[in-house]
Structure 1
Amino acid sequence: MERIFSGAVPRHLRGGVVALGNFDGFHRGHQAVVGHALDRARAEGRPALVATFDPHPAALFRPDLPPFALTTTPQKLDLFEAFGIDAAVVIAFDRALAAHSAEAFVGDQLAAQIGAGVVVSGADFTFGVRRSGDTAALARIGAGHGIAADVVAAVGDAGGIVSSSRIRDHLRAADPAAAAALLTRPFTIRGVVEHGAKLGRTLGFPTANLALGGYLRPAYGVYAVRVRLDDGSVIDGVANLGIRPMIDPPLEVLEVNLFDWSGDLYGRTIEVELDVFLRPEWKLDGLDALTRQIAADCVAARAALASVKPTRSAFLPDGSSVRAISGCPS
């Protein structure tokens, strides 16, 4: 998949079918939009593209918001590639772009820069200064540039419309399984392994530590996890996500103990999927109590993961299509 961060889309990708949106999390609803674009592109012999924004508009207009991302931009692009998309266009979202009228956005971005032949969006998509454009405006303005517009209805289930907000609510409520059902895969944090306090090594449970960055903060606590290394290995483990109340000063971090594995992970990029919430963070009575609790958490995590079917990830070189990712064997 070609990844385009600036400049006009090259000639061989122009006239394509473009799925347009933020796509944070790339959940079932987003997959319906991108899937429609991909299906139409293949049926008509056109390139299939996704156009997304970086940063998320909310991050620009509300810098005071707590971190809320379900995926980083590199993760989203990997997911698009695993889905079968030919190219992804990352549109830099800044105040200059936010000041574009709906007409200017279609003319400058969709027509001139991307050269879209068809644009596919969700029913709630808005664009232009003060969200002045909606799907009806996209169809009307697009027609003047020779761009067709398709709208994909929202995807729902018994709990309502599938949305990033619902997924965030599930994660904050310590229900990663419910979030995974909407995402079609576990919520996964990708990051570079950093040096930590090395207390875990002293206690006999060495950990790989990741900063949480711009990711949404799920419920603090201990999780059964699967870890994907940059060499394709998939390893079960247990993780503490939170502020480590036993350590002074408190520091927010994701600490992961990998089962039956040893080696040097410092500086390497890994993915940690949160599969099962085991318990909240506790402040225990000393290091002996902490050691016993970690051992018990390891036992609980192994038992929990025994009933959770592994999934493939777009992070892996052979990542399978997200269109069939749920329940795929590792």
Structure 2
Amino acid sequence: MKVFKVDESFQSKAKSILTIGNFDGIHRGHRHIINKCFEAAEELDAEKITAVTFEPHPVYLLKPDKAPKIITPLEMKANLLEKAGVDELAVITDSTRLLNMAPEEFAKDFLTGRFNPAAIVEGCDFRFGYSRSGDIDTLKELGKVHGFRACCEELAELEFSVGRRRVSSSLIRGFIEQGLAEDAMKALWRPYRLIGEVVPGRGIGRQIGFPTANINPTMQIRPSDGVYTGFVQIGESREEVCRIDRQKLQPSVYSIGRARTFEQGNPILTEAHLLQSSRELEEGLEGRWMAMDFIAKLREQRVFPNKDKLAEQIDADCRRAEKILSEDKKSLYND
């Protein structure tokens, strides 16, 4: 898949199907829209499917303090779109001018001025232009003027532990922040993946027989404090672990939160203990990259009276995790 930035000189004359959005998470709703792009491309004899996204999120430019933490970094977003069959990803790095365009100007100068869309496929809540003044009905009317079809797709609702909800990036962010790993996985159609460079830890896990690898994620959402289970993938670069490789997944137990058993005032830690013996972990992973895929939450964080009680609980966590991961959980990766 071709990935490129949209600058002032960009112009594409190839007949295409466009879909525009942040695509954070590349969740079930996004997949539904992409599938509709395929149908439109076949019907209208388009040459390619182009996804147009924003990096960073537009809210970051307008109100940085209110910008949401992301679900998927751009590299992972590109990999998932490629696997979904999208032909190219156009990245807008400065969306300020677009956000200030009137809907008519957006359609004339950007949509048809930069691209040659046979159709534009969006969710029915699509908004565009200054103060989000344009909606899907506006787009349909502008399409009649500028020669493209505007397609609106209503996204289906799914049943979650919190009730029936329409899948959206905002919903998934909430699930992750609340530690609802299984709900997030259902909405994403794969486990949530948290990525970071491995950093030195305190070494306490190794002292009690459960060595861990620690990461310090930055832009992504960190799940709520607790103990989780899932699969890790280790790589030499951020780009490598942004690409899901089922052959490299290793069953693990995660701990997220402040370590209060031994001392107070510690920073929030994000650490993984690999359930199977690993030469990589024994030799140390500092400087490499790790992806943590969240399958289920095992329990909340607790304070233990001593190291022995902590080790006893970690052992129980590992046995429970092994039972959960003994099922064919890798089939949950619909990536």
TM-score by length of 2: 0.85
Q: From 211, 215, 228, give the equivalent of 1:210.
A: 215
SS for the counterpart of 2:279 is coil
Aligned residues: 314
Letter in 1 for 2:296: V
- State the one-letter code of the partner of 1:27: H
Please state how far the C-alpha of 1:185 moved relative to its aligned partner.
0.9
Q: Summarize the Cα distance change of 1:197–1:55 in structure 2 as closer, same or farther, 3 Å threshold.
A: same
Paired residue secondary structure (2:330): coil
Closer/same/farther in 2, CA of residues 145 and 45 from structure 1, 3 Å limit: closer
Q: Distance in 2 between matches of 1:23 and 1:265?
A: 31
**Match for 2:272 among 241, 251, 256?**
256
Structure 1, 176-185 or 263-272: larger mean CA deviation: 263-272
Partner residue in 2 for 1:6: 6
Work out whether residues 275 and 308 of structure 1, in 8 Å CA contact, stay in contact via their aligned partners in 2: no
Aligned: 1:242 with 2:262: no
From 299, 303, 310, give the equivalent of 1:290: 310
Distance (Å, rounded) in 1 between the aligned partners of 2:156 and 2:129: 25
Task: Give the drift of 1:218.
Answer: 2.3
Give 1:94 shift: 4.0
Give SS of 1:212's match. Answer: coil
In structure 2, do the counterparts of structure 1 residues 15 and 251 end up closer, same or farther at CA, with 3 Å as the change threshold?
same
Task: Indicate the residue corresponding to 2:23 in structure 1.
Answer: 23
Asked whether the equivalents of residues 245 and 281 of structure 1 are also in contact (C-alpha less than 8 Å), the reply is: no
Cα distance in 2 for residues equivalent to 1:81 and 1:269: 22
Alpha-carbon distance, 1:110 to partner: 1.8
Question: Within 5 A, what are the aligned runs for 1:1-330?
Answer: 1-7=1-7, 11=12, 14-43=14-43, 44-65=45-66, 67-158=68-159, 159-230=164-235, 232=245, 233-246=248-261, 248-260=264-276, 261-263=278-280, 264-307=284-327, 309-311=329-331, 322=334, 325=335
- Overall identity of the aligned pairs, in %: 30
Amino acid at match of 2:271: E
3-state SS of 2:194 partner: strand
- Report which of the two has the higher share of strand: 2
Corresponding residue SS for 1:110: helix
| Kept after mapping to 1: 8 A contact 2:11/2:113 | no
Unaligned runs of 5+ in 2: none
Separation in structure 1 between the aligned mates of residue 264 and residue 98 of structure 2, nearest angstrom: 44
CA separation in 2, counterparts of 1:9 and 1:137?
25
State the Cα distance separating 1:142 from its structure 2 match.
Answer: 3.4
After TM superposition, where is structure 1 displaced by more than 6 Å over at least 4 residues in a row? none
Structure 1 residues 146 and 118: CA distance shift in structure 2, 3 A: same
Measure how far apart 1:184 and its partner are.
0.8
Equivalent residue letter for 1:33: I
Measured after TM superposition, the shift of residue 248 of structure 1 is 4.7
Opposite residue 237 of structure 1, the aligned amino acid is S
Distance 1:214 1:296 in 2: 32
3-state SS, counterpart of residue 51 of structure 2: strand
Q: Which moved more, 1:150-159 or 1:136-145?
A: 136-145
Change (3 A) 1:80 1:312: farther
CA distance in 1, matches of 2:253, 2:307: 18
Q: 1:106 to 1:311 in 2, by over 3 A?
A: farther
Alignment CA distance shift 1:20-1:290 (3 Å): same
Counterpart Cα distance in 2 of 1:300 and 1:65: 38
Deviation at 1:82, TM superposition (A): 0.8
